[in-house]
Amino acid sequence: MTAELRLIIGTKEARLVLKKGDDILEDELWKFDRQMGRSEAGEIVRVCFDDAYDLMQWTVHGD
């Protein structure tokens, strides 16, 4: 069985989707009052990637 975690960031919204196979377990949408800048979006993506990477390292290697 496969799982998928998807983060989509736009200028005025962000969406986080968690799927297990074809089933959607979570689908969250956040709307921003102001337009997000490119540097802000880049920082969010970098932090999310680093956290996901650390989670996988811990899951696989325990460190």
| pLDDT tens, position by position, 7-52 | 998 889 999 999 999 999 999 999 999 998 888 888 988 999 999 9
Q: Are 13 and 29 in contact (CB under 8 A)?
A: yes
Residue 21 makes CB contacts below 8 A (sequence gap 6+) with 1, 2, 3
Give the length of the chain.
63
48 closest CA partner among 10, 8, 19: 8
Of 4, 48, 55, 9, which Cα lies nearest the Cα of 26? 4
Residues 56, 48: Cα–Cα separation, whole Å: 12
Q: 21 lies in which domain range?
A: 3-61
Position 38 scores a pLDDT of 86
pLDDT at 1: 67
Say whether pLDDT at 63 is over 90: no
For the chain, how many structural domains are there in total? Answer: 1
pTM over 0.75: no
